[in-house]
Structures are given as structure tokens and as C-alpha cells.
Amino acid sequence: MKLNLEGQSVAVFGAANGIGRAIAEGFIAEGCHVLGFDRTANASFIVTGDATNYDQVQSFADRFEAIDHVIYSVGAGSGKFGFPFWNLHPNDWAHVLDINLIGAVRVAHAFAPKLIERRSGSMLFLVSVAGQIGSQTDPPYSAAKAGLINFTQCAAKDLAPHGIRVNALSPGMVKTDLNQAVWSASQQHLPEAERQTYAAWADEKIRKVSPLGRWQQPAEYAAMATFLASHNAKNITGQTLNIDGGQVMHS
């Protein structure tokens, strides 16, 4: 399938590692001009910055004379096991919401005028199956991603008259730093004798939650992200697309 993305400009937030890095590399492979944004600049195409700082986000947006596609692949949990929810303190929520939800809102605010000026392009937010099923593992994270799914729809409606599409891409079980942080938090409340290694925990969880029974890979999200940016997806907007091995099925 020809994507015809050559020469287009792409901003990728969270481009240093994991899914964000795979997406950035996917657009580079398609011949795009990619500039990444992350707290760690571990590649020449990445600018150091913090998505919780609007001035830094706006300064990054100002680097682009024109922009075609914006991807927000930033996520962080509370670092605690939230089942039941009162295991957490209300103060544990603010930072998680700031990174996962308000960070994406900052990016949308910074880049929307540039996309509107061109009357074309797309935004893509990385969400999570946790935002669709009310995952009890980390309620602040689940709520933040649910909010981002809703904001995706709001932004899609607002930007559609300008020819701009907005979608959400929802991972399931992927071996990333965030996934390992979930494992670490889940072990904290257990007696020493009941704690599992990451490999054992992950193997058990993937068999429980995924009908296909296998991990998803970062490259799969890169493939979907580039497709959604292409002319082949010109009528796809306001959607949440799951790559989750069948973990979330809506009847």
C-alpha cells in the first residue's frame, strides 16, 4: 500500500523510547521530516522538553514553519497499585492527569493553529485499553486515558471543518518501561513469597487478558500511525483504534 507521506513534517512527542520511538522511526522510513520531543534526547532528531510545560511545548511547535501530523505518545502512571482506589491518595492523581491528559491538550493547543492554517493534516493521541475498561490497576491512569479518548472526539469535531483529522490509538500489552512500572507497582503490596518476576507476571497476565495470547509490538503502532496519517485514512476521524490482541471488544 502506497502511503505517499514523503516530505511531510511530523512532530512526535515521547519519541525517545518504546511506542513513540517506533512511530518516529516509522515516519522517517516513509521519508518524512520528523522532529521528536522528549525528556531524554537520545537521538539527533529529538528535542529535550517536558510536556507538562506549555512554554516548552509552544516553543517546540514554533520550530515548524508548517506541520502535517502531530503524535502524542506520552504516558505515565502513579507508580502505585490502585486496587482498591483508596490505596492511593487524592494527591496521587494530579501529576498523572497532567502528563497523560493535559499534556495532550497542551500539544493540541500549540499545533492546532498551524494545522488550521494549512487546512489539512492529522493529530494522533496514544491512549490505552485501561481508559476503556476502567482498569483498577491504576485509576488515575485509567481516568486520564478515558479523558483523552473523549478529548480526541471533541478535537475531531472542532477540527473537521478545517480538514484535519484526530484519532486515538490504543495499545494493549506492550513490553515498555510503563508496562514494567505497572508490574513493579502490582508487587509492592504482596508478601515477599507471593511476588513474581516480571517475566512470570507478564506471561500470566497476557494469557488472562488477551484472547490472541500474545504481546503487541511497538512496530504495529508505527504501522497504524503512518496509515492514519495517509490519504488512505482520509475518512477516519474521532476514532479509537485498538491494537490489543482482542483485549477490548465492544458489542
Average pLDDT of the chain?
Answer: 94
Report the candidate in 177, 160, 247 with the shortest Cα–Cα distance to residue 212.
Answer: 247
For residue 2 the three cell numbers come to 502506497
pLDDT at res. 187: 86
- Residue-wise pLDDT for 29-62, tens only, equals 999 999 999 999 999 999 999 999 999 999 999 9
> To which residue does cell 471543518 refer?
161
Is 173 or 81 the better-scoring residue by pLDDT? 173
Question: DSSP of 132-155, one letter per residue?
Answer: HHT-SS-HHHHHHHHHHHHHHHHH
251 has a pLDDT exceeding 70: no
* pLDDT > 70 fraction of the chain, expressed in percent and rounded: 100
Which band of pLDDT confidence, cut at 50, 70 and 90, is reported for residue 215?
very high
250 has a pLDDT exceeding 80: no
Q: How far is CA 243 from the centre of its chain?
A: 12
pLDDT at res. 36: 98
- Residue-wise pLDDT for 232-247, tens only, equals 999 999 999 999 999 9
Interatomic CA distance for residues 141 and 96, integer angstroms: 6
pLDDT at res. 121: 98
Alpha helices (runs of H) in the chain, residue ranges in sequence order: 18-29, 54-61, 93-97, 103-118, 130-133, 139-159, 177-187, 198-209, 218-229
pLDDT at res. 122: 98
Give the chain's domains with CATH numbers.
9-174+217-243 (3.40.50.720)
For residue 178 the three cell numbers come to 510503563
81 contacts 188 by C-beta, under 8 angstroms: yes
Which band of pLDDT confidence, cut at 50, 70 and 90, is reported for residue 24?
very high
pLDDT at res. 176: 83
Which pTM does this prediction carry? 0.93
Please compute the mean of the pLDDT values over residues 210-217 and round it to a whole number.
Answer: 92
228 has a pLDDT exceeding 90: yes
- Residue-wise pLDDT for 114-172, tens only, equals 999 999 999 999 999 999 998 888 999 999 999 999 999 999 999 999 999 999 999 99
